[in-house]
Chain A
Amino acid sequence: MTSPASSSEVKYLIESSEGNTFDVSGAALRQSNTFNAMFLNIGADGPIPFTDYNEATLKKVFEYCEHSVNEENYSGPKHQDDLSKWDLNFFNEMDQKMFIDVINASNFLDIERLTSYCCERIARMLRGKNTQEMIKVITLPTAEELEAKQKVEEKKAAAAKKVAEKAAETAEKTETLEELPVQQLVQTTRNKLTRKYLSFSNE
């Protein structure tokens, strides 16, 4: 059950790639700019499909969001040394695959704080090293791997389109219930969706 109300008590249903659904609080979800652009004001009719990411990844991402609900407003990238004990544990308990999945999901959901901390963590792997040492730290992909990455990006753009369509569909339903203010809301949402979709397509 989802609701357009903005109270932090409101829960939203999230659907993962396995088709599983789970609850996330509105307060946590609002840290995602992608969500804000699509569903915040109009609510979602049914589960929100983030089906490009598995349940474990999405739960990990929203675990972070739930934890940082009560933290002060995000004010730009934080140095790794300034991370709290909880933040450090959060990152340390992930293996590399999960870490990469979390970065990808956080990037798609546009959660600034989490994405920024992930980036800082990667930058830290390279910091203070010379070129030879950097080469040892990173894997240099083959042409085939780069091609595969391109396909993944295209798939993500398609997924973003799917989510956008879902939001637009919800918006249209809302449009029939209320008059002018909602229409304006829908138009705003559509504009945001178009921008978001275009940005994914351009990547």
Chain B
Amino acid sequence: MPPFPLLHLPQLVLFEVFKSLSIGEKFKLSLCSKKISTQINNARLYSQKAVVALDILRKKISVLCKNGQDNCEIFTYPNSGKSRDSNAQQFSIACCSVSAVSIPIGIKIFCKNHEEGFLSVIRHLLKMFQCKMSTGRYCWRQELFQPILTELFDLQQEFGTITVGLHETVDHNVLNRIFSYLGLVEGLEIPSVNFLPPSFFIPIFPPWPRRRIIIESNSSWLTLDILFTCTCSYIDIANTNLENKKLDEILTHWKAGGFPNLEYLQIGSTKFKRDGDPILGMVPNEWEDQITIRTDDGSKTAEVHIRRNNLVMDTLLIGLNF
């Protein structure tokens, strides 16, 4: 069979062919030539939507299709590793010359240095797919985290989840940028970094992320005025300084129609007292199990309970609007 003249096909047919290929196959095909790469880029809006998970620590970029059945892993290495693999071939990715070796789960890319390789692959993927980016849990501790985020913010790129530690090693300008950009981020996770010296950075909300906010670190800066502006459906904030009375106000606020998107709420507090002011009309010690509450208009129901010494309100809404 003679070689197939793929690029002679009408554009719509070509787009349909690209659509039939898996993420990994499409990525490998895009390396064949600049012309093919351009055609694949032209078909971007016609292509599958991909979640791109950045694992800077392991030098790995995972590209997953939204249904989870199709994924490809791209590893980037500095050029020094190339000599070990005689199958490496020379290609061009985002104007950067690289060597690449196919592996069953994806592809290994060898570039001048890790940063250039990682950024080139990301730029290449952004042209190929409608991407939603996510950063791994420990990415924020890597040097590459800041230049990558800066570039992606400049491109107004959507994010699935950003995880960032509030630690002095993370530039405050980058943190400010992240917090000002949350309107395009579905979920923000701030892990606990108790093993590191604390940061003096205080997050500024709104904007809030579009769906999820998870804060495990010190949240003594959180006031009700700030919290009541939250539009997330999943709120999990630990280590606040909110006292019993304030925690009671949170539930009152929800009953009056506040937190309109809320599906799950968990607030931890260092100032919670089991024998302190009543919450929902009862001293917390008197709570036997979960209490069911309802909004004033009767449209939503929630179950509230207290867990451990810190007050943790674990609100699981039942019924409407889900």
Contact = CB atoms under 8 A, between A and B. Distances in A.
B11 A203 contact: yes
B7 A140 contact: yes
B317 to A, nearest CB: 36
Interface in A92-127: 96, 100, 103-104, 107, 115-116, 118-120, 122-123, 125-127
A104 B11 CA distance: 10
Interface string B3-43: 11111111111001101111001001101110110000000
Across chains A and B, which 4 residue pairs bring their CB atoms closest together, nearest first? Answer: A130-B102, A123-B20, A119-B16, A139-B3
A100 B5 contact: yes
Contacts, number: 96
Interface of B: 1-13, 16-17, 19-22, 25, 28-29, 31-33, 35-36, 89, 91, 100, 102
B2 to A, nearest CB: 6
A141 interface: yes
A153 interface: yes
Contacts of B13: 103-104, 107, 115, 118-119
A77 B16 CA distance: 10
A101 B214 CA distance: 57
Contacts of A77: 20
Given A107-B13, A131-B91, A131-B102, A120 B5 contact: no
Interface string A70-105: 000000010000000000000000001000100110
A197 to B, nearest CB: 15
B25 to A, nearest CB: 6
B28 A131 contact: yes
Contact of B3 (A127, A138, A146): A138
Given A137-B3, A139-B4, A203-B11, A127 B35 contact: no
A68 to B, nearest CB: 18
A138 B31 contact: no
Interface in A51-82: 77
B20 A100 contact: no
Nearest to B8: A149
Contacts of B12: 107, 203
B285 to A, nearest CB: 60
Given A96-B2, A138-B5, A146 B25 contact: no
Contacts of B17: 119, 122-123
Given A130-B28, A203-B12, 11 more contacts: A96-B2, A103-B13, A104-B13, A122-B4, A131-B31, A131-B32, A138-B4, A138-B7, A140-B35, A140-B36, A141-B7
11 contacts: A77-B20, A100-B5, A122-B6, A123-B20, A126-B21, A131-B32, A134-B32, A138-B36, A139-B2, A140-B35, A153-B10
Residue among A77, A103, A145, A146 with the most chain B CB within 10 A? A103
Nearest to B29: A134
Contacts of A176: none
Nearest to B100: A131
A127 B9 CA distance: 18
A134 B28 CA distance: 8
A7 interface: no
A184 B20 CA distance: 39
A16 B20 CA distance: 31
A33 to B, nearest CB: 12
Contacts of A141: 5, 7-8, 35
Nearest to B4: A138
A70 B2 CA distance: 35
A135 interface: yes
Nearest to B13: A107
Contact of A131 (B1, B11, B22, B29): B29
Given A122-B17, A126-B21, A96 B1 contact: yes
A100 B8 contact: yes
Given A119-B13, A126-B21, A203-B11, A146 B4 contact: no
Nearest to A125: B4
A194 to B, nearest CB: 18
B1 to A, nearest CB: 7
A123 to B, nearest CB: 4
A122 B10 CA distance: 13
A22 B117 CA distance: 58
